[in-house]
Amino acid sequence: MASEILRKASSLLVLTGAGVSAESDIPTFRGDNGLWNKHNPEDLVSVDGFRRNPALVWEWHCSMRKLAMSSNPNAGHFAIAQLEREFFRDDNFLLITQNIDDLHRRAGSENIAEIHGNIFYERCTKCAFRRRSEVIYDDVPLCPQCGSILRPDVVFFGEPLPEMEIAKSFSFAQNTDCILVVGTSGVVYPAAQIPYIVIEHGGKVIEVNKEETPLTKYADVHISGESGTILPEIVKTIR
Protein backbone atom coordinates (compact mmCIF):
# COMPACT_ATOMS: atom_id res chain seq x y z
CA MET A 1 0.00 0.00 0.00
CA ALA A 2 2.77 2.48 0.91
CA SER A 3 4.72 1.68 -2.24
CA GLU A 4 1.58 2.07 -4.35
CA ILE A 5 0.91 5.54 -2.90
CA LEU A 6 4.51 6.59 -3.54
CA ARG A 7 4.50 5.17 -7.05
CA LYS A 8 1.47 7.29 -7.95
CA ALA A 9 2.70 10.46 -6.24
CA SER A 10 4.20 13.28 -8.29
CA SER A 11 5.69 14.97 -5.21
CA LEU A 12 6.77 13.86 -1.75
CA LEU A 13 7.14 15.58 1.60
CA VAL A 14 9.12 13.73 4.28
CA LEU A 15 8.95 14.68 7.96
CA THR A 16 11.47 13.08 10.31
CA GLY A 17 11.99 13.14 14.05
CA ALA A 18 14.33 11.77 16.67
CA GLY A 19 13.32 8.16 16.06
CA VAL A 20 15.30 8.13 12.81
CA SER A 21 18.50 9.23 14.54
CA ALA A 22 17.90 6.89 17.47
CA GLU A 23 18.72 4.06 15.08
CA SER A 24 22.16 5.69 14.72
CA ASP A 25 22.55 5.56 18.52
CA ILE A 26 21.70 9.22 19.09
CA PRO A 27 19.35 9.36 22.09
CA THR A 28 15.88 10.84 21.72
CA PHE A 29 14.91 13.81 23.87
CA ARG A 30 11.62 12.41 25.12
CA GLY A 31 10.48 8.96 26.19
CA ASP A 32 11.65 6.58 28.89
CA ASN A 33 15.36 6.96 28.08
CA GLY A 34 15.15 10.49 26.67
CA LEU A 35 17.79 13.12 27.33
CA TRP A 36 15.30 15.33 29.13
CA ASN A 37 14.95 12.67 31.81
CA LYS A 38 18.63 13.21 32.63
CA HIS A 39 19.03 16.94 31.99
CA ASN A 40 16.95 20.05 32.59
CA PRO A 41 16.22 21.54 29.15
CA GLU A 42 15.73 24.98 30.71
CA ASP A 43 19.42 24.98 31.64
CA LEU A 44 20.74 23.69 28.31
CA VAL A 45 18.49 24.74 25.44
CA SER A 46 16.65 27.86 26.49
CA VAL A 47 17.28 31.55 25.91
CA ASP A 48 17.38 32.21 29.66
CA GLY A 49 19.71 29.27 30.24
CA PHE A 50 22.15 30.63 27.65
CA ARG A 51 22.05 34.09 29.22
CA ARG A 52 22.73 32.63 32.68
CA ASN A 53 25.48 30.23 31.73
CA PRO A 54 26.66 30.20 28.10
CA ALA A 55 29.61 27.98 29.07
CA LEU A 56 27.28 25.22 30.30
CA VAL A 57 25.12 25.47 27.18
CA TRP A 58 28.17 25.27 24.94
CA GLU A 59 29.57 22.34 26.90
CA TRP A 60 26.37 20.38 26.35
CA HIS A 61 26.04 21.32 22.69
CA CYS A 62 29.65 20.36 22.06
CA SER A 63 28.95 16.97 23.63
CA MET A 64 26.02 16.59 21.22
CA ARG A 65 28.24 17.74 18.33
CA LYS A 66 30.83 15.15 19.31
CA LEU A 67 28.14 12.46 19.50
CA ALA A 68 26.82 13.38 16.05
CA MET A 69 30.34 13.29 14.60
CA SER A 70 30.91 9.79 15.99
CA SER A 71 27.57 8.53 14.62
CA ASN A 72 26.79 7.49 11.06
CA PRO A 73 23.66 7.74 8.92
CA ASN A 74 21.66 4.53 8.97
CA ALA A 75 19.74 2.71 6.26
CA GLY A 76 16.68 4.89 6.90
CA HIS A 77 18.65 8.08 6.21
CA PHE A 78 20.05 6.60 3.01
CA ALA A 79 16.63 5.39 1.83
CA ILE A 80 15.19 8.91 2.23
CA ALA A 81 18.12 10.33 0.24
CA GLN A 82 17.49 7.68 -2.42
CA LEU A 83 13.83 8.68 -2.69
CA GLU A 84 14.92 12.24 -3.43
CA ARG A 85 17.72 11.27 -5.82
CA GLU A 86 15.88 8.65 -7.89
CA PHE A 87 12.17 9.39 -7.70
CA PHE A 88 11.34 12.96 -6.65
CA ARG A 89 13.88 15.41 -8.01
CA ASP A 90 14.15 19.19 -7.65
CA ASP A 91 10.96 20.97 -6.59
CA ASN A 92 9.01 17.73 -6.17
CA PHE A 93 10.71 16.76 -2.91
CA LEU A 94 11.20 18.34 0.50
CA LEU A 95 12.61 16.79 3.65
CA ILE A 96 11.58 18.53 6.87
CA THR A 97 13.62 17.35 9.83
CA GLN A 98 13.36 18.17 13.51
CA ASN A 99 16.81 16.65 14.03
CA ILE A 100 19.89 18.82 14.45
CA ASP A 101 22.54 16.12 13.94
CA ASP A 102 23.31 16.64 10.21
CA LEU A 103 22.90 12.92 9.44
CA HIS A 104 20.44 13.51 6.61
CA ARG A 105 22.95 15.71 4.77
CA ARG A 106 25.70 13.18 5.34
CA ALA A 107 23.43 10.52 3.82
CA GLY A 108 23.04 12.62 0.67
CA SER A 109 19.75 14.46 1.16
CA GLU A 110 19.81 17.91 -0.43
CA ASN A 111 16.46 19.69 -0.29
CA ILE A 112 16.13 19.95 3.49
CA ALA A 113 14.31 22.27 5.87
CA GLU A 114 16.10 21.96 9.22
CA ILE A 115 13.39 23.56 11.29
CA HIS A 116 15.21 23.15 14.62
CA GLY A 117 18.61 24.18 13.28
CA ASN A 118 21.87 22.28 12.92
CA ILE A 119 24.37 21.45 15.67
CA PHE A 120 27.28 22.16 13.31
CA TYR A 121 26.35 25.80 12.75
CA GLU A 122 26.92 28.71 15.10
CA ARG A 123 26.05 32.37 14.89
CA CYS A 124 26.84 35.63 16.60
CA THR A 125 24.53 36.95 19.30
CA LYS A 126 25.05 40.52 18.02
CA CYS A 127 25.96 40.69 14.33
CA ALA A 128 25.02 38.61 11.27
CA PHE A 129 28.08 36.33 11.39
CA ARG A 130 27.33 32.62 10.92
CA ARG A 131 29.54 29.66 10.12
CA ARG A 132 29.74 25.89 10.02
CA SER A 133 32.08 24.37 12.59
CA GLU A 134 33.03 20.95 13.93
CA VAL A 135 35.18 22.38 16.72
CA ILE A 136 34.68 21.00 20.24
CA TYR A 137 35.25 24.12 22.32
CA ASP A 138 36.87 24.32 25.75
CA ASP A 139 35.64 27.89 26.23
CA VAL A 140 32.76 29.99 24.95
CA PRO A 141 33.62 30.92 21.33
CA LEU A 142 33.66 34.55 20.27
CA CYS A 143 32.67 36.14 16.98
CA PRO A 144 35.71 36.81 14.76
CA GLN A 145 33.99 39.91 13.34
CA CYS A 146 32.69 41.78 16.39
CA GLY A 147 34.01 39.87 19.42
CA SER A 148 30.59 39.04 20.86
CA ILE A 149 29.61 35.58 22.10
CA LEU A 150 28.70 32.96 19.53
CA ARG A 151 25.78 30.62 20.14
CA PRO A 152 24.75 27.30 18.62
CA ASP A 153 22.50 27.92 15.62
CA VAL A 154 19.71 25.74 16.93
CA VAL A 155 16.26 26.71 18.12
CA PHE A 156 16.17 27.22 21.88
CA PHE A 157 13.02 26.79 23.93
CA GLY A 158 11.14 30.07 23.87
CA GLU A 159 12.30 30.96 20.35
CA PRO A 160 10.25 30.87 17.15
CA LEU A 161 11.21 28.43 14.43
CA PRO A 162 13.01 29.84 11.36
CA GLU A 163 10.37 31.80 9.48
CA MET A 164 11.55 30.97 5.96
CA GLU A 165 11.88 27.24 6.69
CA ILE A 166 8.41 27.04 8.22
CA ALA A 167 6.85 29.03 5.37
CA LYS A 168 8.49 26.71 2.82
CA SER A 169 7.36 23.64 4.77
CA PHE A 170 3.74 24.75 5.10
CA SER A 171 3.56 25.79 1.45
CA PHE A 172 4.87 22.42 0.29
CA ALA A 173 2.43 20.62 2.60
CA GLN A 174 -0.49 22.39 0.94
CA ASN A 175 0.54 21.18 -2.51
CA THR A 176 2.09 17.74 -2.12
CA ASP A 177 0.47 14.42 -3.04
CA CYS A 178 1.94 12.56 -0.11
CA ILE A 179 3.76 12.91 3.20
CA LEU A 180 6.01 10.25 4.70
CA VAL A 181 6.21 10.76 8.47
CA VAL A 182 9.10 8.90 10.08
CA GLY A 183 10.17 8.54 13.69
CA THR A 184 8.38 11.54 15.15
CA SER A 185 6.13 11.58 18.21
CA GLY A 186 3.57 13.86 16.60
CA VAL A 187 3.24 16.05 19.68
CA VAL A 188 5.75 18.87 19.04
CA TYR A 189 4.17 21.81 17.25
CA PRO A 190 4.24 23.38 14.74
CA ALA A 191 5.92 20.36 13.09
CA ALA A 192 3.10 18.08 14.25
CA GLN A 193 0.63 20.25 12.34
CA ILE A 194 2.24 19.58 8.96
CA PRO A 195 0.68 16.14 8.22
CA TYR A 196 -2.77 17.53 8.95
CA ILE A 197 -2.20 20.31 6.41
CA VAL A 198 -1.43 17.59 3.85
CA ILE A 199 -4.65 15.77 4.80
CA GLU A 200 -6.72 18.96 4.55
CA HIS A 201 -5.49 19.46 0.99
CA GLY A 202 -6.19 15.91 -0.14
CA GLY A 203 -2.76 14.33 0.25
CA LYS A 204 -1.96 10.85 1.53
CA VAL A 205 -0.15 10.09 4.79
CA ILE A 206 2.30 7.23 5.33
CA GLU A 207 3.56 6.88 8.90
CA VAL A 208 6.57 4.77 9.90
CA ASN A 209 7.06 4.54 13.65
CA LYS A 210 7.81 1.93 16.28
CA GLU A 211 4.84 3.20 18.28
CA GLU A 212 1.42 4.62 17.55
CA THR A 213 1.13 8.41 17.70
CA PRO A 214 -1.76 10.90 17.64
CA LEU A 215 -1.38 10.87 13.83
CA THR A 216 -1.74 7.10 13.44
CA LYS A 217 -5.54 6.99 13.23
CA TYR A 218 -5.50 9.59 10.45
CA ALA A 219 -2.74 7.97 8.38
CA ASP A 220 -3.60 6.12 5.17
CA VAL A 221 -0.84 3.67 6.02
CA HIS A 222 0.88 3.04 9.36
CA ILE A 223 3.87 0.70 9.39
CA SER A 224 5.18 -0.26 12.80
CA GLY A 225 8.92 -0.81 13.07
CA GLU A 226 12.33 0.75 12.56
CA SER A 227 12.82 3.08 9.62
CA GLY A 228 16.20 1.52 8.83
CA THR A 229 14.43 -1.74 8.06
CA ILE A 230 11.17 -0.50 6.57
CA LEU A 231 12.24 2.38 4.31
CA PRO A 232 14.79 0.43 2.21
CA GLU A 233 12.13 -2.20 1.56
CA ILE A 234 9.64 0.47 0.46
CA VAL A 235 12.22 1.95 -1.92
CA LYS A 236 12.82 -1.48 -3.46
CA THR A 237 9.13 -2.05 -4.12
CA ILE A 238 8.42 1.28 -5.87
CA ARG A 239 10.94 0.64 -8.64
> Which DSSP state fits 23?
T
Same domain, 139 and 222: no
Same domain, 180 and 229: yes
The confidence score (pLDDT) of residue 44 equals: 84
**Residue 235 φ then ψ, to 5°:** -60, -40
For 171-222, write each residue's pLDDT tens digit.
999 999 999 999 998 888 889 999 999 999 999 999 999 999 999 999 999 9
The confidence score (pLDDT) of residue 55 equals: 95
The number of angstroms, rounded, from the C-alpha of 153 to the middle of its chain's C-alpha atoms is 14
The confidence score (pLDDT) of residue 38 equals: 62
Same domain, 59 and 169: no
Distance between CA 118 and CA 229 in Å, rounded? Answer: 26
Same domain, 36 and 132: yes
Within the chain, where are the H helices? 2-8, 18-22, 41-44, 47-52, 54-70, 75-86, 103-107, 163-175, 194-200, 227-237
The number of domains in the chain is: 2
The confidence score (pLDDT) of residue 89 equals: 76
Average pLDDT, the chain: 92
Same domain, 143 and 220: no
Same domain, 228 and 146: no
The confidence score (pLDDT) of residue 37 equals: 58
Same domain, 180 and 227: yes
Same domain, 150 and 229: no
Write the CB contacts of 187 (distance below 8 Å, at least 6 apart in sequence). 213, 214
Domain that holds residue 5: 1-26+73-116+162-239
pTM for this entry: 0.92
- Residues taking part in catalysis: 116
Same domain, 174 and 216: yes
Distance between CA 8 and CA 177 in Å, rounded? Answer: 9
What confidence tier does 123 reach under pLDDT thresholds 50, 70, 90?
A: very high
Q: What is the CATH number of the domain that holds 177?
A: 3.40.50.1220
Name the domain boundary from 154, 177, 202: 154
The order of strands in the sheet holding 130-132 is 130-132, 117-124, 150-154
Same domain, 170 and 210: yes
The confidence score (pLDDT) of residue 54 equals: 96
The confidence score (pLDDT) of residue 34 equals: 57
Q: What is the CATH number of the domain that holds 35?
A: 3.30.1600.10
Name the domain boundary from 97, 128, 154: 154
